[in-house]
Copies of this chain bind each other. A is one copy, B any other.
């Protein structure tokens, strides 16, 4: 008899452990926040003292990892829709952000955490302002996150210096926060919004402090052209000249890349966050994911901020991630379902440089996992679990969420948050913010 805090029996398991296996009638044991058994129930030892979860009719898999979002923007979901990007930013998003109170960030982020728990995301990479408020929400919710305070210099050196300092302070102070569930990245917003001087300082600081860097890259064709006109180099070439690129850089979007730029990305093993929904919704374009993967690059999936998606549901993003690549390459075999599940789990963990801790169901890893209830009409019959997860499952099908061995949701009831209160607080926050900004309906 071995001791366990939690056991799950009789589940169908997608361990995503690199062995391409599906385990039927599987068991998982969790002790002190870590996975201590993964495998056939028939071969598992007996456990004592545990809280047992019945996994019958459920798929057990690693918690999903959302590699790029701006969580507090839940508050702006639906505020201004179907508009040209420049008008959306200048008339709505920036005026609203100028009216932010730090607590607004907390309530927006908490709503985002609730939405992520309810749709099976256990870890995410975020970039925003007042990121310490996002950290507080993450701790309250019990999630795992890699957070970066954004730097937007946009030609104002003083502002750039101040934001650079805040970004480093945040990264130092919050690395390891919430019992280690929060780690930090530096957050230069983009090549077009940060000067080469700031970017060079970010690179030097990241290397010295062993921190990752979260940045937007090659998202907008117009901005890419502006960079080229101004510097004579593309965004990626400019970063190459600054010796900025490396395996610790998480680059979101990567849409407008030449072959030479892709090769530079591959040479430096830059990590990529693919955000198909937001890229389509704001008509930014499409990352050539098949080409990037063929060059050996690691690609995770992100939802991007909920104002430009308008959802944090990674199941939806997984489906659209696959559909978009099949269409572009005119080939239904591109990004098969198992590859997409890999992108949303273990490759996401690699993107965030925490693949030793999470991203797969393996003994010794931290217990971040979800159970998907496949006893639903739209998931019947279950011929292929990978296809079911990517093409048919919604976030609402997630039954149970465990992070670091703690049950955050069971039978769709969230244990760490008062769901109604989180929604009411966010509604009130959004209403007050719109009132302050003179935008009340």
Contacts and interface: CB of A to CB of B under 8 A. Distances in A.
Interface string A49-87: 000000000000000000000000011111101111100
A77 B330 contact: no
Interface stretch (A127-135, A149-157, A424-432): A424-432
Nearest to A396: B396
A303 to B, nearest CB: 11
Contacts of A396: 394, 396-397
Given A281-B323, A377-B423, A332 B392 contact: no
A411 to B, nearest CB: 15
A200 to B, nearest CB: 33
Given A78-B387, A332-B282, A311 B377 contact: no
B83 A381 contact: no
Contacts of A76: 383
A35 interface: no
A430 B422 CA distance: 43
A358 to B, nearest CB: 23
Interface string A299-312: 00000000001111
A148 interface: no
A419 interface: yes
A118 B441 CA distance: 32
Given A323-B277, A337-B81, A283 B377 contact: no
Interface in A413-438: 419, 422-423, 426-427, 430-431
B392 A310 contact: yes
Contact of A381 (B309, B334, B431): B431
A333 B281 contact: no
B337 A383 contact: no
Contact of A280 (B111, B312, B323): B323
Contact of A430 (B74, B378, B383, B397): B383
B311 A391 contact: yes
A381 B430 contact: yes
A354 interface: no
A140 to B, nearest CB: 14
A85 B83 CA distance: 37
Q: Copies of this chain, how many?
A: 2
A324 interface: yes
A377 B81 contact: no
Interface string A18-36: 0000000000000000000
Contacts of A336: 81-82
Contacts of A380: 74, 77, 111, 423, 426-427
A391 B329 contact: no
A229 interface: no
Contact of A81 (B83, B387, B419): B387
B332 A78 contact: no
A300 to B, nearest CB: 20
B327 A280 contact: yes
Nearest to A397: B396
27 contacts: A77-B380, A78-B392, A81-B386, A81-B391, A82-B335, A82-B336, A82-B387, A83-B333, A115-B377, A118-B376, A119-B378, A277-B323, A280-B324, A281-B322, A281-B323, A281-B391, A283-B326, A283-B327, A283-B334, A311-B378, A316-B316, A320-B323, A377-B423, A380-B427, A394-B394, A394-B395, A396-B397
A-B complex: 9 closest residue pairs judged by Cβ atoms: A82-B336, A280-B323, A78-B383, A78-B384, A396-B396, A78-B387, A115-B377, A310-B391, A81-B387
Given A78-B392, A84-B333, A279-B327, 19 more contacts: A74-B381, A77-B383, A77-B388, A78-B383, A79-B383, A81-B337, A82-B332, A82-B336, A310-B387, A310-B388, A310-B392, A312-B378, A313-B394, A375-B423, A377-B423, A380-B426, A381-B426, A383-B430, A394-B396
